[in-house]
């Protein structure tokens, strides 16, 4: 699942490579989950399909998808550390999920955002109301 990234960054979905302490540090200070407990972050990671982006050994970006792998997926906890923004890292994580073989044929994707509507709209998402967005790809493919 190669996504276009600057040469000094690596995208990985290897759960062993995720850095829960770094993820918790960001999320606990974010507007959408201030003060969240590390144990809750770890449970969320365990129940999700996660991806991280690394600069050297440091995790600098994260996103996760909660899905039934059949009809629905919810994108959550997307972030890129400020010092690494503007390099296409969030877009690379979106491309990764949108093209992942296990996430094809889904009817609906959802997410919540207060301030990144433009990013998601460039990748096929539509505003529903307020903070809610969706990407509707039509009826689920049946096999």
In tens, the pLDDT along 35-56 reads 999 999 999 999 999 999 999 9
The CA-atom distances, in angstroms, between 131 and each of 55, 66, 111 are 30, 18, 8
Residue 94 dihedral angles phi and psi, to the nearest 5°: -65, -45
Q: What span, in angstroms and rounded, lies between the C-alpha atoms of 128 and 4?
A: 29
pLDDT at 131: 64
Question: Is 67 among the domain residues?
Answer: yes
Question: Is 78 among the domain residues?
Answer: yes
Question: Is 113 among the domain residues?
Answer: no
Q: What span, in angstroms and rounded, lies between the C-alpha atoms of 48 and 70?
A: 15
| CA distance between the termini of the chain | 23
Mean pLDDT computed over 14-32: 96
Mean pLDDT computed over 122-131: 80
Q: What span, in angstroms and rounded, lies between the C-alpha atoms of 94 and 97?
A: 5
Expressed in percent and rounded to 5, the helix, strand and coil fractions of the chain are 30, 30, 40
Contact 135, 125 (CB under 8 A): yes
What is the tally of structural domains in the chain?
1
Mean pLDDT computed over 2-18: 89
Q: What's the CATH number where 63 sits?
A: 3.40.630.30
Owning domain of residue 78: 9-103
The band of 130, judged by pLDDT with boundaries at 50, 70 and 90, is low
pLDDT at 125: 85
Question: Is 32 among the domain residues?
Answer: yes
Question: Is 15 among the domain residues?
Answer: yes
Task: List the one residue out of 124, 115, 127 whose CA is nearest residue 78.
Answer: 115
Mean pLDDT computed over 79-105: 96
Question: Is 112 among the domain residues?
Answer: no
Mean pLDDT computed over 3-13: 89
Question: Is 28 among the domain residues?
Answer: yes
Question: Is 2 among the domain residues?
Answer: no
pLDDT > 70 in the chain, percent: 90
- Give the count of beta carbons closer than 10 Å to the beta carbon of residue 86: 9
């Amino acid at each position: 699942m190669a996504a276009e990234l600057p040469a000094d960054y690596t995208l990985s979905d290897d759960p062993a490579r995720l850095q829960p302490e770094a993820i918790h540090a960001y999320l606990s200070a974010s507007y959408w989950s201030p003060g969240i407990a590390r144990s809750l972050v770890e449970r969320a990671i365990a129940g999700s399909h996660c991806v991280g982006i690394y600069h050297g050994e440091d995790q600098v970006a994260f996103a996760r998808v909660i899905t039934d792998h059949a009809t629905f997926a919810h994108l959550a906890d997307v972030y890129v550390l400020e010092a690494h923004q503007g390099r296409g890292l969030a877009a690379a994580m979106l491309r990764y999920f949108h093209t992942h073989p296990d996430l094809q044929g889904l009817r609906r994707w959802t997410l919540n955002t207060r301030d990144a509507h433009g990013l998601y709209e460039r990748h096929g998402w539509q505003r529903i109301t307020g903070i809610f967005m969706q990407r509707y790809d039509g009826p689920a493919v049946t096999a």
